[in-house]
């Protein structure tokens, strides 16, 4: 196999984050504390995981940075946009995710990260009301102002490369509409015509990032880069994109546990999932239109792992139409819990001769503690993909995402099975390191 050429990770990597809330400040603080030797980046695949390369007597287990050139944490430079004007230190304190003693050692660094004015439309997140926002004539102007922010950041910091990461709130659901989203020209015209109900602010961020030569990652379930216009732009600019929605708590459990039911050939009649959380994300999701975006993302996981048409006896009964198992997802805003969300799963399965059984999972997790290492891995790996000359949707990053992007216009199904996603991730790293992609997904 020809060795894939990966440009070395020289110089500084800029990470510009949309949203300076609980997730992003936990991410930034953790990176800075790790750089000082005061914390460990637990949960990060790029920092801890080892991948087998070669077989037989040539077999080795190597860290990612031993297989491919990757930036060290010392090479990362942060910037952010947010609707609230407080700096990263104040925001980290306000988020109440980390203890003050785990923030203060990097206080000086965090204080320097002052959020740029956000490109924001309150109709997309009615529960948010910050005043650190751009005044924009239209969506085209919005994208132009973001482009200027990116250019200024590059100029002021001297970073070699920039990745733009969305770690902000879930927007209201935007249904893909080929009239506005089908081509680059259609999207650009919609931005100039200020079709505000079809062009979300997040689309302006993604468009601006790609136009400024930056890979873009969508960490919420927003439609943003999941439209043909963005796929075409990523191809035209030869840039990688990834999304959507960080896979942290309940969906991580679902994508790992559903394969147990499927592999063991047990039946499923229903899966009920409910969550309580009280952070800014919970507040935004308390709005039905925003919850709809999240629901689409969370519901899609199970149906591609346990397929009624493939195994009608096992998965073809339970809902009102008796066509497949009953699947319900609920998110409840509960302020006392703040960032410490809780996921309950009640799973009704059946076995030999149809006899019913139950599984109950109660995951008391910390949203930002689980999301922070995903932010790091996604940024480092999409930068790697770019240096390897890969562009368009990076399916190998599905491992980190709830509703992995796929070409639905061609009937493609996303891979949601956690262990198949892990195989895709390992194979991609192997290939970019010049090794053979030697695992298969059945």
Task: Band the pLDDT of 1: cuts 50, 70, 90.
Answer: very low
**Average pLDDT of span 100-107:** 98
Instruction: List the domain boundaries for the chain.
Output: 13-246+368-432, 250-364
For residue 344, pLDDT over 50 is answered with yes
Task: Band the pLDDT of 29: cuts 50, 70, 90.
Answer: very high
Cα distance from N-terminal residue to C-terminal residue, the chain? 22
- CB 200 within 8 Å of CB 171: yes
**Average pLDDT of span 350-354:** 98
Q: How many CB atoms lie within 10 A of CB 129?
A: 11
pLDDT of 2: 45
Q: How deeply is 265 buried, as exposed, middle or buried, from its count of CB atoms within 10 A (0-12, 13-18, 19+)?
A: exposed
Q: How far is CA 107 from the centre of its chain?
A: 27
For residue 304, pLDDT over 50 is answered with yes
Q: How deeply is 30 buried, as exposed, middle or buried, from its count of CB atoms within 10 A (0-12, 13-18, 19+)?
A: buried
- What is the share, in percent, of the chain residues with pLDDT greater than 90? 86
249 sits in the region (left: phi over 0; alpha: psi -120 to 50; else beta) called alpha
Q: How far is CA 31 from the centre of its chain?
A: 18
- CB 27 within 8 Å of CB 98: no
Per DSSP, the three-state class of 364 is strand
pLDDT of 292: 72
Q: What are phi and psi of 140, to 5 degrees?
A: -65, -45
Task: Band the pLDDT of 301: cuts 50, 70, 90.
Answer: confident
For 259, half-sphere exposure in the C-beta direction (CA atoms, 13 angstrom radius) is 12
Is domain 250-364 classified as CATH 3.30.360.10? Answer: yes
Lowest-pLDDT range of 36-40, 181-185, 278-282, 375-379: 278-282
Task: Band the pLDDT of 7: cuts 50, 70, 90.
Answer: very high
Q: How far apart are CA 399 and CA 397, in angstroms?
A: 5
pLDDT of 133: 96
pLDDT of 442: 78
Give the 3-state DSSP-derived string for 257-274, with helices as H, strands as E and coil as C: HHHHHHHCCCEEEEEEEE
- CB 430 within 8 Å of CB 53: yes
pLDDT of 288: 75
Q: What are phi and psi of 242, to 5 degrees?
A: -150, 155
- Residues 216-272 have pLDDT tens digits of 999 999 999 999 999 999 999 999 999 999 999 889 999 999 999 999 999 999 999
Task: Band the pLDDT of 129: cuts 50, 70, 90.
Answer: confident
- Residues 167-211 have pLDDT tens digits of 998 999 999 999 999 999 999 999 999 999 999 999 999 999 999
Which residue in this structure is represented by tokens 């090479």? 75
Domain 13-246+368-432 homologous superfamily, CATH: NAD(P)-binding Rossmann-like Domain (3.40.50.720)
- Residues 318-342 have pLDDT tens digits of 999 999 999 999 988 889 988 888 9
- The tokens of 232 are what? 């075409």
Greatest alpha-carbon span in the chain: 68
For residue 297, pLDDT over 70 is answered with no
- Residues comprising the chain, all counted: 442
Q: Mean pLDDT score of the chain, rounded to an integer?
A: 94
- Residues 392-417 have pLDDT tens digits of 999 999 999 999 999 999 989 999 99
Q: How deeply is 3 buried, as exposed, middle or buried, from its count of CB atoms within 10 A (0-12, 13-18, 19+)?
A: exposed
Which residue in this structure is represented by tokens 């109660």? 362
- CB 111 within 8 Å of CB 88: yes
């Amino acid at each position: 196999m020809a060795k894939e050429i990966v440009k070395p990770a020289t110089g500084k990597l800029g990470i510009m984050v949309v949203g300076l809330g609980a997730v992003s400040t936990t991410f930034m603080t953790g990176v800075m504390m790790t750089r000082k030797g005061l914390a460990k980046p637990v949960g990060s695949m790029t920092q801890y995981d080892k991948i087998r390369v070669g077989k037989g007597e040539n077999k080795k287990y190597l860290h990612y940075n031993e297989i491919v050139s990757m930036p060290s944490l010392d090479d990362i430079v942060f910037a952010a946009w947010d609707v609230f004007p407080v700096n990263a230190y104040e925001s980290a304190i306000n988020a109440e995710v980390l203890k003050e003693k785990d923030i203060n050692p990097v206080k000086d660094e965090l204080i320097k990260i002052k959020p740029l004015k956000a490109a924001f439309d309150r109709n997309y997140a009615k529960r948010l009301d910050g005043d650190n926002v751009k005044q924009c004539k239209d969506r085209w102007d919005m994208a132009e102002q973001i482009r200027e922010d990116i250019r200024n950041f590059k100029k002021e910091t001297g970073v070699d490369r920039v990745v733009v990461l969305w770690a902000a709130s879930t927007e209201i659901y935007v249904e893909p509409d080929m009239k506005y989203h089908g081509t680059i020209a259609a999207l650009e015209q919609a931005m100039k015509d200020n079709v505000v109900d079809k062009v979300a602010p997040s689309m302006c961020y993604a468009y601006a990032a790609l136009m400024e030569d930056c890979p873009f990652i969508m960490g919420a379930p927003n439609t943003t880069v999941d439209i043909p216009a963005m796929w075409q732009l990523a191809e035209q600019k030869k840039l990688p994109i990834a999304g959507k929605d960080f896979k942290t708590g309940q969906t991580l459990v679902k994508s790992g546990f559903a394969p147990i039911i499927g592999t063991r050939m047990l039946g499923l009649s229903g899966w009920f999932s409910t969550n309580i959380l009280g952070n800014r994300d919970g507040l935004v999701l308390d709005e039905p239109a925003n919850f709809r975006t999240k629901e689409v993302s969370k519901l899609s996981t199970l149906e591609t792992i346990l397929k009624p048409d493939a195994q009608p006896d096992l998965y073809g009964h339970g809902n009102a139409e008796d066509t497949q198992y009953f699947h319900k997802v609920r998110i409840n805003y509960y302020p006392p819990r703040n960032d410490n969300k809780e996921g309950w799963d009640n799973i009704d399965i059946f076995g030999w001769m149809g006899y019913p059984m139950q599984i109950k999972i109660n995951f008391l997790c910390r949203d930002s503690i689980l999301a922070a290492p995903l932010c790091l891995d996604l940024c480092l790996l999409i930068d790697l993909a770019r240096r390897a000359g890969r562009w368009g949707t990076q399916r190998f990053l599905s491992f980190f995402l709830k509703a992995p992007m796929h070409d639905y216009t061609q009937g493609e199904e996303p891979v949601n099975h956690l262990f198949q996603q892990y195989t895709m991730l390992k194979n991609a790293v192997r290939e970019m390191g010049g090794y053979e992609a030697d695992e298969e997904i059945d």
